Every structure is written in structure tokens, then in C-alpha cells.
């Protein structure tokens, strides 16, 4: 089954689901997973950010589910009702309760918060010392390992998201890569090959080739995700993913079979 397990709709920061579904069909996929952002943290600051960005799938997932059911009536593609959850260790009880209640086809876990801000926010880290940046990257990988070990998620998303931020790029270590690989080897959680910036300025997949080489040393399989937010992003990222997997010998698996 050729599936893109990581896309977004207008229920978070993506496009209308019908247009994403058409793009998946045009790209020759057999299935598409809609994994909209969701944050259930009780932290007041994060709740404010959540309301500002509209990442309210915990309040709207039933409405989206009705919409996906309607789409299924008019397509031969398999449509997955999924979620991308923001993860921090302190929020595990709230995440577990919500996922148990909602019953998604699968759950994607992501570490987006670092040093009290979004990991993408370059300006926050740009003036910090090398030691501070090293510490933040270490914190990121600590959280990623905790995400995997929590067994709350089917998929661990964009494993080295810190590489997208020029201020944090290059601080990850081989030891951190091996810690993640060991956690994944012992877990039911599956990592993804994420193409979210492969056709943009960053130009790399997640994980980076160095990290991927470490992961391939372990008994780990992957799923593929374009991380597309717009229909025009889906096909080119899908093509890049398929070429990358074929040329690098990446073993893949299926979810929700």
C-alpha cells in the first residue's frame, strides 16, 4: 500500500481535506493519513498558543471524523483518521486520556517545544552560546526518547526536527542518535521518513543521512510522511520519498492494516 501517513488539513494548519485527498489520488497513492496538530497540555502559555494557531483537534475531531466519513464515500483511497500530538513528558496523562477517548486510527507524536518556545523559532536560539544550544539539543533528544518509551504513539515524527533550525543545526551527537535507535528498537513506535522540508531551503529528509545510517543498524522499520499542508506539496514530496527509500534501502511498514 502506497500511503502518505502524515498530512494536514484545515482542522489545523493545512488545506481542505477534499483537496488533499484529490492530490493524493493524482499522485497515485493508495491511502492518505490526515494527522492534524493537537495539543492537550494544561500549560496556560501553550493553551494560548493553541487557541491562536487553531490547533484544537481535541475539540473538533468528531466533526472532522464526520467529514472524513463523507469523503470515503467518494474515493477508492483508504483515508486514515489520525492525529499529530505535541509531546512533552509532563503532559503524558492528558495525552493518554485524550487518545484513549478519541480512538484515532493511529497517533503521531512530535516534540515541538524546546526551551519554552517552538523549535523552529531561530531568533530565540540565535544569540545563545554553543553550550546553551548543545544543552537544548540534548533536551530535545531526551524528550524524543521519552516520547518513544511512553508507548503512547504509533509514529514518532521528524526525529531530528532541530536540524531545521539553523541556530541548532549540527549540535546532535552520535550518542544521541544511538539512544533514539535503541529506544525505537525496543518499542512498538515506528519512526517516519519525513519530507517536510526536502523541497524547501533546508533540503533534507528527517532523519538526516547520518542519523538514518545509525537507525538502519537496528531492527527498525519506517513509515513515509510528506508532512504536506498544501495539495501542491504532496506529489513532489511523495516522489522524493519513494526515490529516497529505494536508493537507501529503507525498510517500510504499514499502519492500520
pLDDT digits (tens, 9 = 90+) for 199-209: 887 889 999 99
Task: Give the residue carrying C-alpha cell 513532489.
Answer: 236
Domain membership of residue 139 (yes or no) is yes
Helix ranges, the chain (H): 17-26, 44-53, 57-72, 92-102, 122-126, 130-150, 174-185, 209-215, 231-248
Domain membership of residue 154 (yes or no) is yes
Q: Above 80 in pLDDT, residue 210?
A: yes
Q: What is the pLDDT of residue 232?
A: 97
| Mean predicted confidence (pLDDT) in 4-14 | 96
| Nearest Cα to Cα of residue 111 among 97, 90, 125 | 90
| No. of helices (H) and no. of strands (E), the chain | 9, 9
Overall domain count for the chain: 1
d(CA 216, CA 227): 22
Q: Above 90 in pLDDT, residue 246?
A: yes
- Domain that includes residue 73, residue range: 3-248
> For 149-199, how does the pLDDT look when each residue is reduced to its tens digit (9 = 90+)?
999 999 999 999 999 999 999 999 999 999 999 999 999 999 999 999 888
pTM, entire model: 0.95
- Cell numbers representing residue 228 in the block: 504536506
Domain membership of residue 201 (yes or no) is yes
* pLDDT grade for 56, boundaries at 50, 70 and 90: confident
Domain membership of residue 253 (yes or no) is no
Domain membership of residue 256 (yes or no) is no
SS3 state of residue 90: helix
Assess contact for 13 and 55: CB atoms under 8 A: yes
| CATH number where 68 lies | 3.20.20.140
Domain membership of residue 254 (yes or no) is no
Q: Above 70 in pLDDT, residue 224?
A: yes
Q: Above 70 in pLDDT, residue 257?
A: no
Q: Quickly count: other Cβ atoms within 10 Å of residue 103's Cβ.
A: 9
d(CA 150, CA 99): 13
Assess contact for 244 and 250: CB atoms under 8 A: yes
Rounded (5°) CA angle 253-160-56:
80
| Mean predicted confidence (pLDDT) in 44-48 | 77
Whole-number Cα distances in Å, 7 to 93, 185, 201 = 26, 25, 20
Assess contact for 39 and 65: CB atoms under 8 A: no
Assess contact for 35 and 102: CB atoms under 8 A: no
* pLDDT grade for 47, boundaries at 50, 70 and 90: confident
> For 135-152, how does the pLDDT look when each residue is reduced to its tens digit (9 = 90+)?
999 999 999 999 999 999
* Bridge partners (DSSP) listed for residue 156: 109, 191
Domain membership of residue 257 (yes or no) is no
| Nearest Cα to Cα of residue 194 among 181, 180, 211 | 211
Secondary-structure percent of the chain, ordered helix, strand, coil, rounded to 5: 45, 20, 35
Domain membership of residue 188 (yes or no) is yes
Amino acid at each position: 500500500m502506497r500511503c502518505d501517513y502524515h498530512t494536514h488539513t484545515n482542522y489545523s494548519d493545512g488545506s481542505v481535506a477534499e483537496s488533499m485527498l484529490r492530490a493524493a489520488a493524482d499522485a497515485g497513492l493508495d491511502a492518505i493519513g490526515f494527522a492534524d496538530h493537537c495539543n492537550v497540555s494544561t500549560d496556560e502559555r501553550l493553551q494560548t498558543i493553541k487557541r491562536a494557531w487553531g490547533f484544537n483537534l481535541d475539540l473538533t475531531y468528531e466533526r472532522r471524523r464526520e467529514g472524513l466519513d463523507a469523503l470515503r464515500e467518494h474515493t477508492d483511497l483508504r483515508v486514515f483518521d489520525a492525529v499529530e500530538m505535541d509531546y512533552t513528558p509532563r503532559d503524558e496523562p492528558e495525552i493518554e486520556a485524550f487518545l484513549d477517548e478519541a480512538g484515532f486510527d493511529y497517533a503521531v507524536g512530535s516534540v515541538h517545544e524546546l526551551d519554552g518556545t517552538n523549535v523552529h523559532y531561530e531568533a530565540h536560539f540565535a544569540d545563545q552560546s554553543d553550550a546553551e544550544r548543545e544543552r537544548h539539543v540534548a533536551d530535545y533528544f531526551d524528550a524524543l526518547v521519552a516520547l518513544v518509551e511512553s508507548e503512547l504513539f504509533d509514529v514518532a515524527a521528524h526525529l531530528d526536527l532541530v536540524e531545521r533550525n539553523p541556530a541548532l543545526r549540527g549540535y546532535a551527537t552520535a550518542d544521541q542518535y544511538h539512544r533514539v535507535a535503541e529506544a525505537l528498537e525496543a518499542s512498538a513506535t515506528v519512526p517516519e521518513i519525513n519530507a517536510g522540508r526536502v523541497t524547501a531551503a533546508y533540503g533534507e529528509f528527517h532523519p538526516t543521512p547520518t542519523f538514518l545510517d545509525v537507525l538502519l543498524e537496528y531492527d527498525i522499520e519506517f513509515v513515509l510522511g510528506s508532512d504536506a499542508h498544501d495539495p501542491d506539496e504532496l506529489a513532489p514530496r511523495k516522489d522524493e520519498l519513494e526515490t529516497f527509500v529505494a536508493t537507501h534501502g529503507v525498510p517500510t511498514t504499514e499502519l492500520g492494516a
